[in-house]
Structure 1
Amino acid sequence: VIAVVLGWFVAGRMLAPLQRITATARSIAGSTLHERIALAGPKDEIRELADTFDAMLQRLDKAFQAQSRFAANASHELRTPLAGMRTLLQVALAAPGEYRLEDLGPDLLTLNRRSTEITEALLVLARADHGAIAEEAVELDVLAREVCTQATPAAADAGVALTASVGRGRVLGDR
């Protein structure tokens, strides 16, 4: 009887970490990937299992966060050109005699080009989140001046004076 009770007690103590792993896995499955088992104790097979599970949760959490950031960026960035195209089309349809395709076409093409550029940039972002892009030194001041030069004609057409005052800056990334 003593051996059975002692065996039951020892088995319970030996299986307690597995029960903790199971309980944590159940709670994580129902809520969030931020929790970890963080099992303390001797570096044995059970602790290795818990550490492996924690590492897997960390990778999954990073992947879900990257996916969430990508979706947020995509929806935010694409709203502006799509809203612009929609507005141009609604105005043209509201007064069809006043607007011709020759007048609206260039603006629609510009907005379409911008949507395409944003889509390409978001695809680069998706690859970056998975570590699949080559990084290079990018001169931010040169890049800012290029963007301002490209936008100057559209700004002038809108009656806006576009100026840029930039200092030198360099970042490691994708141009």
Structure 2
Amino acid sequence: MTGFVQASLLFLDVDGPLIPFAAASQQYPIYATGPEPLGADANPLLTRINPEHGPRLAALPCEVVWATTWMADANEYIAPRIGLPQLAVVVWPEPSDIDDQDERNGLHWKTRALVEWAAGRPFAWVDDEVTDTDRAWVAAHHQGHALLHRVDPCHGLADSDYAALDSWLRQWVRHSS
């Protein structure tokens, strides 16, 4: 009998990776996915989410976790839109609990919470705000392997992003078997 090996985590932000924005003059594609969950019409940006993200995320060898300010709303409005089950959600610290010194030094306010949530497990963090400061801090404070993957918010997750994530995640599946 072999020991239990937990899957790598994929911390997924919504705004930027799944909902592209920030392109000054770009027209974004609109995706129709059927009946909208009650209240989904309150956010017209939801139509920018490509439903193909769901199967592509589900095919990655990891446990996907919402790491977004959408928090539980991601399970209500986004998961059904792209065909994902209910996912775990990172609960963020209160703004008063975030170290102001971190922000002055360029550390993203999510970074410490994600390392704590991972608790030593390998993880990939997909966000449009990841910086070299975050990468250096994670390398110094996380005992497991980590990939901090920045996505261009003008385009959102693209084929090249999925290829990089899949390649990185699969190396930890092989090494943990």
TM-score (norm 2): 0.20
Which protein has greater RCO, CA pairs closer than 8 Å, 6+ apart?
Answer: 2
Q: Which structure has the larger Rg? A: 1
Normalized per residue, the structure richer in strand is 2
